[in-house]
Amino acid sequence: MTREQKLGAFIAVAFLFIGGGLWYFYKRNLKKLQKITLKADKVKVKGNFKKVNIQGKLKLTNPSEVDVFIEKYNINVYIQGIFVANLTNDAANLAIQPLSTLVFPFNVDVDVAKFAKDLLSVVMAVFVNKSKADPIDIKFEGTLSGKHGIVSVNDFPIDYIYKYNPQTEQ
């Protein structure tokens, strides 16, 4: 084997090791990205029998060792299983650093008249019978789309239920 052949073989092996290492790194972190989580925090419910305002913070946690850019999200909000609002941003451009959490606020206005018969028991529990009320389910369900470098993930499913307790969270 000539010197040029040895050098060519060495370079080929080096590229295989580097390529294999990068492939392994990204494959492992893409699996971790599948475990990205969404949680609600500091949820406050205010209002009256005409209009209810729900506000708080959503926390997106990145469990991987690569940064992620959330390009857009589409999240439906349900109260006790009843659709009340949609949180959408088609130009979000939210950066989540590796192994960290991104917090962003949400603010949802619910027209009680539109959902009067379905939400009356919820409104009564929050504003009238606070001491007797059971926790109320506020569900966030939808999709996130994001990318890291040239790798894009579209319509990653999100499904999270926040248990709002009118007794303790007023």
pLDDT in tens, 12-28: 777 777 877 766 666 67
pLDDT at residue number 133: 61
Show the domain range for 146. 37-164
Residues 57 and 24 grouped into a single domain? no
Measured distance CA(164)–CA(132) in Å, rounded? 14
Residue 92's domain is classified under what CATH number? Answer: 2.60.40.1820
pLDDT at residue number 137: 84
Q: Which residue reads 């939808």 in tokens?
A: 142
Residue 170 has pLDDT above 60, yes or no: no
Measured distance CA(163)–CA(47) in Å, rounded? 19
Question: 141 with 75: CB under 8 angstroms?
Answer: yes
Residues 152 and 115 grouped into a single domain? yes
pLDDT in tens, 57-102: 888 888 888 788 888 889 898 888 888 888 888 887 888 888 888 8
pTM of the model: 0.69
| Domain total in the chain | 2
- Copy the structure tokens of residue 125: 């529990």
Question: 140 with 169: CB under 8 angstroms?
Answer: no
